[in-house]
Amino acid sequence: MDLSQIAEQIKDASENIFLIYAFNSTGKTRLSVEYKETAKNTDGRQTGVYYNAFSEDLFVWDNEHTKLNIVSSSLNQYHSQLNELDVMDKLKPYNPKYDFRFQSHENLEQGFASISFFMKEDEEQHPVKISRGEERIFIWCFFLALIEVDSWTGEQSDYFFIDDPVSSMDDHNIFITAFTLMNLIEKHYERKKIIITTHHIGLATILSDWLSKGEKAGKFKAIRRGEKNKYKISILEKIGDQYELSNPRNSVLLYHLRVLQILDTAIQEDSLEVYHLALLRQVLENIASFLGVGQFQYVLQQIGFTEESGKMADIINALTHQKVYYPQVGVMVPDNKQILIDVYNALMGKYHFVLHN
């Protein structure tokens, strides 16, 4: 199939949630463009909202005046319903070191012209240039705030297509983005089709686990015999000049080894933070799933924590709750740090994973 046929396949599918993993340069962004064209209604109007590399291209740095200019587009008409607090609310979990202000066009109906950034402690608000990673997080949060504008998403209410929102993010921010995407899915999946594509195996694995085996997975699964799940997890593969959406069970995705490498480095460098417990939990859950059991407490028992497995599972559960990804609880206390190290060492001793550098 070509990408237009893939887009048609997704559009016509009964599932409302599509999670698609693909290597870079496979065609994810082009697929989002094809879907946009395929999903247009009969008079050529857009029926949904998308975020991809072209969305990021609407923001261009003016280095001379140290501000981020916004290229005029059809989205500008909705800017008047946004303010700094709306966007900052989405930014908060990412712990930005800066604040910002919007500059509007003289004609307010044309929306925002640019954005200026300044350090939070700078009362005189001298403009600064934020990093590329910070910029991409800001644009993502701007988009998240914008899709809550009813006049935009109300007119284009059929779908969200989100292509790779985690480029240039570190592991901590990828977890935050995963929670953000799950919140978006939970809020809208019954009324809209939601397509998420990514080249990041960690994000794909986390969302896949939450959709299929997480605490809230029941709401996304088929209830009656003969029904389909409300989600579909696929890998976009290019074979010659053709494409296909394959079943991920036909591919080996060794995300757990990458996570163990990250944990090993953090332990060796004494740089453990609370979110590393979430990474450890992912490994425990992956092993539990491989062993055919539903609870990672079973894995704790298998690696030697027989009597205290329940207590340790409770601690890991508590510290990997959603609030852990907010910065005010990012520092790990020594006792919890030791739990992580002990569990990691026991895992490596039991299963002898080989971590290639």
Its CATH class, for the domain covering 3-47+158-250, is alpha beta
Condensed to tens digits (0 to 9), the pLDDT of residues 174-203 reads 889 999 999 999 999 999 999 999 988 788
- Which helix (H) or strand (E) segment holds residue 116: the answer is strand 112-119
Residue 323, pLDDT > 50, answer no
Give the pLDDT mean for 104-114. 92
* 299 contacts: CB under 8 Å, gap ≥ 6: 284, 287, 288, 291, 293, 347
- Residue bearing tokens 């340790």: 312
Token duo for residue 193: 């089709």
Residue 250, pLDDT > 80, answer no
Cα distances (angstroms) measured from residue 25 to each of 30, 223, 237: 10, 37, 11
pLDDT of residue 328: 39
- DSSP at 189: T
Beta sheet of 159-163, edge-to-edge order: 48-51, 159-163, 193-198, 17-21, 231-239, 242-246
Cα distances (angstroms) measured from residue 148 to each of 87, 90, 104, 154, 196: 11, 11, 20, 9, 18
Domain with CATH 3.40.50 in the chain: 3-47+158-250
Condensed to tens digits (0 to 9), the pLDDT of residues 138-173 reads 999 999 998 888 767 777 788 999 998 887 787 788
CA distance 301 to 284: 11
pTM: 0.72
CA distance 200 to 47: 27
Angle 275-290/255-268 helices, nearest 10 degrees?
140
